[in-house]
Amino acid sequence: MMNSRKSIIITGALLIAAVALAAAAFGGSRNCCKANMSSNNEGARTAEAVEQDGAQTATVEVTDKGFEPSSLKLKAGVPAKVTFVRKTEETCAKEVVIKEYNINRKLPLNEPVTVEFTPRKGEFSFACGMDMIKGKLVVE
């Protein structure tokens, strides 16, 4: 009788611990969804790349709000160097993926990571590895 009561108490404690861990894990992923919503809103800022030394350059920061700026304007046919800097741990954007250019790079915290490619006309997305936080490249 005493053993079964102890088993029930231990099982209950383990279930409570499992629910608490699951809540913490899934609560952390909400940051991605929150950042995704804010980075894809209508008032999102578009930045234009700057031409220097025969290439166009731009910097995108990864913050708790997502990619900032969330949209980059580039010129077609001109080599591009886009530097990504992850400024927060509070995001799932620990890498950047630009599928159309076969780019997939890890983004270590506070370390600039530059991706180089020659853009072609069109609109292309860049995203975190989970495809939850997104930005876009507008190439004219």
* pLDDT tens-place values along the chain, 140 residues long: 557 777 777 765 666 755 555 555 554 444 454 444 444 444 457 899 999 888 999 999 999 999 999 999 999 999 999 999 999 999 889 999 999 999 999 999 999 999 999 999 999 999 999 999 999 999 99
**Alpha-carbon span 113 to 52, nearest angstrom:** 18
Give pLDDT, residue 46.
Answer: 85
pTM of the model: 0.71
Given strand 95-98, what is the order of strands in its sheet?
46-48, 71-74, 134-139, 122-127, 95-98, 103-106
pLDDT at res. 20 = 55
Burial of 138 (0-12, 13-18, 19+ CB in 10 A): middle
Q: Do residues 81 and 116 touch, judged by C-beta distance below 8 A? A: yes
Reported as half-sphere exposure (CB side, CA atoms, 13 A), residue 81 has a value of 11
